[in-house]
Every structure is written in C-alpha cells, then in structure tokens.
Amino acid sequence: MAVNVSREFVDKLFCIKDKVAIVTGATGALGGAIAVAYAMSGAKVVLTGRNEKKLGEVADQIKGEGGTCAICVADPSNEESVQNLIKFTVDTYGELNILAIAHGYNKAQGILEQSVADWQLVMDADCKSVYIVCKYVAEQMVKQGKGGKMIVVSSQRSRAGMKGYTAYCTSKGGADLMVQSMACDLSAEHKINVNTINPSLFRSELSEWMFDPTSEVNKNMLKRMPIGRLGEPYDFVGLAIMLAAPASDFFTAGNYDATGGYWGC
C-alpha cells in the first residue's frame, strides 16, 4: 500500500508565497519578527500598530530584503479603525488570507494595588481587542470563501497565576479559551483555522534587562526552562509560519507551546 504523502504536498507544506497577511503589533519584538518572516516567505504583509515611525522602520527592513509590505496605523481596540484596516488591506492587495495578532499590554500589579480601571485596561488590550480584530477579519475571510489562518500571540502565563499578574494571566487565559471557541465557530464551516502561540520570555526592548545572567528573574526562569536559555524573536517565527501555512490545515483551537519547555516543568 502506497503512503498517501505526495511530493507536491510536502513541497508546499510551509509555503505562504503570495498570501496576504495582517500583522498587528508589528512594531514589537514578536510582531516585527512575524512580519519580517512572512514577507521573507513571499507573503504580502500589512503592518499595523499605533506608531507610524516604527512601522516605517520595519517596512524599510522588509523592502530592503526584497519583500512586499504596506503600513496602516490602526487601533485594534476600535471597531471603526479595525474595519478601515481590513478595507485598506483588501484595497491594497485584493484579499486577506492570514491574520497574526501580536499586540498586547500588561501593567503588573497585585489585586490590592491595581485599580479596577487598570485591570480593565489590560483585559481590553489583551482580550477584547483580540475579539474585535478576529471578528472583522473572520467576516472578510467568510466573504471571500477561501478559508484562512488566524494566529494569536498569547502567553505561557495563560495556564498559571503569578504574583502581580492578576490582570495579565486572566486576559491571556481568556484569549486562549476565546480562540478555542472561535475555532468551533469558524473552522469546520468556513475553513478558518484559529490558534494561539504561547511564548515564554522573549528578548525585546522592555525585557532586555531580564537577559542579564546575574538577574534573579533570569535565574528563576531558567530553573523551569529545559531549553536552557530565554527566547529570541527568531525562535518564534517557525511556529508563526507553520500556523499560517498548509502544514497547519488540520490544526485549530490549539494553544501552541513556545515556552522553551516551561510548561513541562
């Protein structure tokens, strides 16, 4: 009996060439890495965030590598702004096939210090805005009738509480469950796969100090990371490409471990 795996199938497993992608939070370390990797893989990428100057810097890098991209300043928590982003994408590139959500916010405080307003701010940034973007992107993908891929950057903190993270852990846990529920709504009927990537601590401008090997944060993290180091943005792009490509056609409602083994220890 012949094995039902063709060369053509394998050759296209990780191909996203000519697909159209929106990447939110494209000015951040992980969003920027996703945007650059998608463009280097041949996708047409719309970079979005609130800082036009930083978006332009990422766009210049992509274009310098021969990639195709456009920028659109947008607020993911504002419905009209998100609708305008999607219209811009379709007007510019003709359709929308991939969504990668990489924006987010945290204000680390315990319940005794954090106001209800600040708690709500984190929830709105990490949960409500994800719903808004996914909702309107899903409507566009359903209208096109070609299916699509949605990838939401969540966190390793979605599965366990942490001191001072009463808002963040809640928001990321909610995002994980929301993605699973959206997959139930969208995957079988509309061929739209919806998954999260759940990263550990990755290097960024804000986290750079934690990479100091003498830092107590660094030491404590590595006690539970079998990989033996903290994450670099390039460590993230393999999952981001796989979940956007045909390789993930059977994968949906998943929360994918990008923790360096943290969840396993």
Which residues belong to the active site? 168
C-alpha–C-alpha distance, residues 48 and 55, integer Å? 7
Strand order in the sheet with 44-49: 68-73, 44-49, 20-24, 98-101, 148-153, 192-199, 255-258
Tell me if 254 sits within 8 A of 217, measured CB to CB.
Answer: no
Q: Which of 191, 181, 174, 175 is nearest to 251 (CA)?
A: 191
DSSP letters spanning 195-230: EEEEE--B--TTTGGGG-TT-HHHHHHHTT-TTSS-
Tokens of 100: 């990668």
Tally of CB atoms within 10 A around 256: 18
Dump strand ranges (E) for 124-223.
148-153, 192-199
